[in-house]
A and B are shown apart, each in its own frame.
Chain A
Amino acid sequence: MENSNSPNSRPKKSAASNPLEAVVKFLSSTQLATFLLLALFVLTWFATLEQTVNGLKPMMDKYFNWKELFFFPEIGKPWQKDGAMVPITIRFPMPSGFWLCVLFTINLTLGGLIRFRKSPQKIGILLSHFSIVFLMVAAGVTKFTEKRGALQIYEGKVSDAARDYHAEVIEISELADGKVTKVHLVDWEFLKDLRGGGERMFKLSNLPFDLKVTNLVENAQVSPAQFVPPVKGEKVIDGFHLKALPRAKETEAHMAGVELSVLSKGGENLQELLLGSRSLKPATVSVDGRPYLLQMRKKLWPLPFKVQLDDFRVERDPGTNRAAAYESDVTRLDGVETEEVLIQMNEPMRRRGWTFFQANWGPQDDPNPAEYYSVFEVVHNPADHWPLWSLLISMAGLIGHFVYKLTLFLTKPRKSAVS
């Protein structure tokens, strides 16, 4: 935090003898740290403004896309007299948040930990730097490994899967005697980049056919062409087409749709289909005389145990419809082991790496419904508690250093008072 702390403030040696040393010196420099902090500051500001225009999830996808180095922010035009939200694009290339964070972590590790001049007086700063590196690592672990979904469950019912908020899958079910015998999935990871007319072939080794997905619409409705005619040349299959619905700011409400072809192993087009997450019924396909069900739906995260909602209670502020508190009595069914747990606001249930948070409930417009349902946010995150540890470290470091500097300041004789 002071000149003396900077690796650059060391007595100057001769120019870097080799390029690697020069790179390390640059990557660990306080100048780079300053630039990165400024860039992260601007990025955060734009991220705040852009989500008012495009919604949170699209903003996140755009700002932290590791496949791109730069992007152009889009914000709401300030000071619109009629209060309308008019988006404007800032014609300034912003570096990707993902790469800024990576660079920042490298800079902090090299300059703030490894090359940092260690002394008892600077242990506070060292600890703070370490805690931030740890926090960034936690963020990285969360970004790439976190599983998150919602589990909605009625009183007396049992569930063992949480529904992802965004990711969708194509589900292919094998049928025998009218019953599902086996389920195959095409994951969102392989579908999400097909938005806007992308095409991908899926070779299904365990099935007698392959699939070719030719288009994915992120928020779609399978609509009858007779009543809702296609307006942008959408492909009509069996009198239906995929109608793109307006993009919602809360993209959790989106339900995707795809155009796909069922191909024989020889590549012959057996059938063309439209699948939509909003459709209530799956499509039926018959290949080699065997029936299969195809449908699109939100991805489910299977849980390692079952959860039963025994009771849900809501307490309202007197004379209002506003919930003052709400909580769920659940039973965790884990093989022969059962456990009764109370889940409430700020008091989640943590079991076997999964955490259940009391997120919502319903029906909310009925003051005395016959039965309530409870909604839990279900999260699996290996870095769940890392921020807390990071906080404790940084708190110790910052407070220690601050108290040390304050003591120095207060005990140092002053030169002259200024009136």
Chain B
Amino acid sequence: MRVVVGKIIALVLLVGLLLGLFFKGVEELKPQKNVVSIPEYAPWSEEVIDLAASLPVQEGGRIKPLETRASYAMLQMRGDRRITIEGKGGEKVRVGPTAWMLDIFFRPEIAAELPSFRVDNAEVLKSLGIEFDDRKKRDRYSYAELETHLPTVMQKAGDYQELSSRGADLTPVEEQTLDLATSLQTYFYLTNYFNFVREGIILRAGEGEGKKVSMSTVLATSGQIVDAIRKSQESGGIPPHINELLMQIDQSVMSSKFVFHPLPPTTAEEEKWSSVGELIEATLTGQIADPNQAVRDVQRLEELYDAYREGEKSFAKNLADFRASTMTRAGKDAERSVDTELSFNRVDWFRKALYTFSFGALALLVYLFIHEGAVGKWLRVALWSFTSVGLFLILAGIVHRYMVVLRPPVTNLYETIPYITAGTVLLFLLVELATKNRIALVAAPVVGMAGMVLAAVFQVAAASDSLDPLVAVLRSNFWLTTHVLTVTFGYAAGLGAAVIGFIYIFSRVLGLDGGDKNFRRAITRMTYGIICFTLVLSLIGTVLGGIWANYSWGRFWGWDPKENGALMIVLWTLFILHGRAAGLLREWGVNLAAAFGGVVVTFSWFHVNMLGTGLHSYGFTDGKEAIWYFYGAATFVIVGGMAYSFWESSQQKAKKAAKKNETAKVPANEPA
């Protein structure tokens, strides 16, 4: 009876966990609430979106496809990579990052209606004196709704920025106000980028309407403009019509100078790509080697905009020409990395891995009921297959990422997630190969799924390009491939041991093992083996990190939180191994301690980065509360397991005592 109840509870928990993970990981499959109706919205053709997505731009210190640029901009502003709206005739239209960026550039009035800004706490807006009666605490807003409040948001954000620069700790509402201001500012620059085409330059010789000319036309006469300014300065002042011209140019420069750099340098020595505003400014101030090329570049973007006005076909053709000419100038390396990144985005290895592990988890659910006979055998094959394919997909994704940027695969917190997931899954498969007791096999797809969900959630929460260049100290392929890979594989092993530890606790508490001592011993041996492996990797990884620090910062050990985290894993595993050797930790103790090792690894892997101190602080704070839920749940299970083990032990003692008493009552001459 107890086994049946235990199995039902375990099944409910497992199904709940798997469903929770699945829906968290595939948020984009969920239908969106509060769909905005924009009847005049006309979707872009596939051809235009594909061509625009592949345009190379420079941002964050590297060359990337526009699709990536748009994707992270959308994540930062909206916390999502799609917007579903009701278009013409109530038809549902899904707007992806590239389409969204095209809207912002070319159809600013329509783009302003899209709910592009996520505000997590309505208090942010309330503190700015902005109130919407029909909105929830966390909701999305359009640029049109927030535009009128832009000066207020910017002023408050400026105040908070100053507070922060003086070392004050900002409250979450203040932090979110800063984030909102940054998003609004980025959007403002993007949506006004093509103002230099839309508005052109109005040339006025005297009173009257004046003549509208293109920016490139004005720029082509930059030499004459500069001469005119110099002469008029010599003769007592700049005349009003030149002043007005300069003001118009200045406005165009300001709106097209930031956040979008699509124009490669003209010489091989230069690396920096330009925005239109930078080219205009550099041309007029004489700080450019080839002003004629600058004029041609501005003209190319004007032609692109004109082509958009002419219609989709013309726009598509011009986009293709623009891409081809940009790539020719950018060079083979840029073309290779953009194309590789585009294919990486298209394949979406980690998403596919998530789906594969989900199928594996589904097979697992069935396997829990039918694990004997031919069906059981086939389910085991399915478990092996889905898990192995999932692992292959993660590894392929890691290799593909490497091919995009040509640097070691684990350089930031995001990249550790697929790597650690792959490490744990690989470890489980190896353990399964060695033990063939199917414990690691059933855990592997769940771990793979959880890891891939974490990767998806983290990417949304961090909303920053994880392929951007490294800081100076990290630019060492030797140390990145030795220290980082070793220590993070140690995390993977530590988490693996914790998972097996939790399996032991649940098996014992819910009676799933049916009292099978072989099963218990097998699990404990597995836990012990993985802990040994964790120790080897963590110790070597930690000391390697110390030696790297000794080369970089001049000290082996600096009590930096990340270093401490790695040391904590080493100390904890040593504690378990020595506790077992001393007879202080037995079956229960080893597994409970291994499960707690999961908390230690989580602290070391994630939490130390949120402490806001030390050399490894990545400033990641979104979703901070999730870690507390994990700690809470883990502690609950571990404390529950401890309580159960004490209860079980006292029961056994009582039974033994009773048996002893009964034996004592039997007279010596009677058979017992």
Contacts and interface: CB of A to CB of B under 8 A. Distances in A.
B261 to A, nearest CB: 6
A59 B559 contact: yes
Given A37-B571, A82-B171, A418-B516, A1 B551 contact: no
B618 to A, nearest CB: 14
Interface in A347-378: 347-348, 355, 357, 359, 377-378
B117 to A, nearest CB: 22
B556 A83 contact: no
Contacts of B558: 56
14 contacts: A48-B611, A79-B628, A135-B543, A319-B60, A319-B261, A320-B60, A355-B554, A359-B554, A391-B540, A394-B540, A398-B539, A416-B518, A418-B439, A418-B518
Contact of B551 (A59, A346, A417): A346
A249 B612 CA distance: 12
B464 to A, nearest CB: 13
Nearest to B631: A78
A27 interface: no
A131 to B, nearest CB: 9
Given A2-B580, A317-B62, 15 more contacts: A2-B581, A3-B581, A44-B567, A45-B568, A48-B559, A48-B561, A51-B613, A84-B169, A318-B61, A347-B551, A357-B552, A384-B550, A391-B547, A398-B539, A419-B438
Contact of A402 (B518, B532, B548, B553): B532
Contacts of A410: 434
A347 B273 CA distance: 31
Nearest to B469: A317
Contacts of B448: none
Contact of B472 (A30, A40, A51, A345): A345
Interface of B: 58-62, 169-172, 175, 261, 271-273, 371-372, 434-439, 469, 471-473, 475-476, 479, 516, 518-519, 522, 529, 532-533, 535-536, 539-540, 543-544, 546-548, 550-559, 561, 564-565, 567-568, 571-572, 574-575, 577-584, 603, 608, 611-614, 625, 628
Nearest to A4: B581
Interface of A: 1-3, 5-6, 8-9, 29-31, 33-34, 37-38, 40-41, 44-45, 47-49, 51-52, 56, 59-60, 78-79, 81-85, 135, 138-139, 142, 148, 249, 317-320, 322-326, 345-348, 355, 357, 359, 377-379, 384, 387-388, 390-391, 394-395, 398-399, 402, 405-406, 409-410, 414-419
Contacts of A414: 435-436
A5 B608 contact: no
A31 B582 contact: yes
Contacts of B518: 415-416, 418
Contacts of B613: 51-52, 56, 249
Contacts of B556: 138, 142, 387
A314 B58 CA distance: 20
Contact of B58 (A29, A30, A148, A318): A318
B153 to A, nearest CB: 20
A188 B125 CA distance: 53
Nearest to A78: B628
A64 B271 CA distance: 49
B246 to A, nearest CB: 25
A415 B60 CA distance: 58
Contacts of B574: 37
B376 to A, nearest CB: 8
B611 A319 contact: no
Contacts of B557: 139
A173 to B, nearest CB: 31
Contacts of A388: 547, 550
Given A33-B578, A319-B59, A415-B518, A405 B532 contact: yes
Contact of B554 (A37, A82, A148): A148
Given A83-B170, A391-B547, A415-B518, A56 B553 contact: no
Nearest to B525: A409
A41 B516 contact: no
B553 A6 contact: no
- Greatest chain A CB density within 10 A among B59, B175, B272, B273 is at B272
Contacts of B435: 414
A323 B61 CA distance: 10
Contacts of B439: 418
A85 B170 CA distance: 10
A77 B614 CA distance: 19
A170 B263 CA distance: 59
B551 A324 contact: no
A31 B552 contact: no
Contact of B546 (A2, A34, A347, A387): A387
B578 A37 contact: yes
A277 B627 CA distance: 44
A81 B625 CA distance: 10
A34 B589 CA distance: 13
A379 B558 CA distance: 14
Contacts of A51: 559, 561, 613-614
Contact of B469 (A82, A322, A391, A409): A322
Contact of B536 (A38, A355, A402, A418): A402
A45 B567 CA distance: 10
A199 to B, nearest CB: 32
A325 B475 contact: yes
B571 A345 contact: no
Nearest to B628: A79
Contacts of B577: 1
* Closest CB pairs A-B (n = 8): A317-B61, A318-B271, A30-B582, A41-B571, A357-B554, A391-B543, A377-B554, A37-B575
A82 B172 contact: yes
A390 B627 CA distance: 35
B642 to A, nearest CB: 16
A194 to B, nearest CB: 26
A271 B601 CA distance: 60
A341 B577 CA distance: 47
Contacts of B471: 322-323
Contacts of B625: 79
Contact of A85 (B61, B169, B581, B608): B169
B582 A83 contact: no
A324 B469 contact: yes
Contact of B568 (A44, A78, A326): A44
B311 to A, nearest CB: 33
Contacts of B548: 346
B58 A41 contact: no
A38 B573 CA distance: 10
A395 B540 contact: yes
A84 B173 CA distance: 12
Contacts of B543: 135, 387, 390-391, 394
A44 B564 CA distance: 6
A79 B580 CA distance: 35
A417 B437 contact: yes
A10 B371 CA distance: 45
Contacts of B170: 83
A10 B172 CA distance: 59
B371 A60 contact: no
Contact of B61 (A9, A320, A347): A320
